């Protein structure tokens, strides 16, 4: 994947994080409990952190060519989908079973950071 593609992914996920965060802050406030609002905000916060990580990955990948960097990007994307997505679904559907997916997203985030570190070190 071209390095600039990670920047595009990051920018789009960042846009969605702001949009989802605003939705949570305004549309959900009167509909769900404060605990669920906090859960929703956690999803948006981690999505934004990793959207920014994707942008930085795209910048770094312009000078560091490593398959580990690409793996890092895909792990961040997977983490956003699994971690943040499961938290959003948990809150919006009130189905607690979605919470079982969340740790897998967290593992993707952690692995993404390790792969990024290794890719930068080896590159």
- H helix or E strand, kind and range, residue 109: helix 102-122
Global pTM reads: 0.95
Domain ranges of the chain: 3-122
Q: What is the pLDDT of residue 14?
A: 98
Model confidence at 29: pLDDT above 90: no
Instruction: Kindly report, residue by residue over 33-83, the tens digit of the pLDDT.
Output: 999 999 999 999 999 999 999 999 999 999 998 999 999 999 999 999 999
Model confidence at 90: pLDDT above 90: yes
Q: Which residues 6+ apart lie within 8 Å of 81 measured at CB?
A: 105
Query: In percent, how much of the chain has pLDDT > 90?
Result: 94
């Amino acid at each position: 994947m071209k390095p600039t593609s990670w920047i595009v992914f990051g920018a789009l996920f960042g846009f969605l994080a702001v949009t989802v965060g605003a939705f949570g802050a305004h549309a959900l406030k009167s509909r769900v409990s404060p605990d669920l609002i906090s859960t929703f905000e956690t999803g948006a916060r981690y999505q934004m952190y990793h959207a920014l990580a994707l942008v930085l990955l795209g910048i770094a990948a312009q000078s560091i060519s490593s398959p580990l960097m690409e793996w890092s990007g895909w792990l961040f994307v997977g983490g956003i989908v699994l971690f943040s997505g499961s938290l959003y679904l948990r809150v919006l559907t009130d189905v607690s079973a979605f919470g079982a997916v969340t740790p897998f997203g967290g593992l993707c985030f952690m692995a993404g950071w390790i792969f990024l570190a290794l890719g930068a070190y080896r590159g």
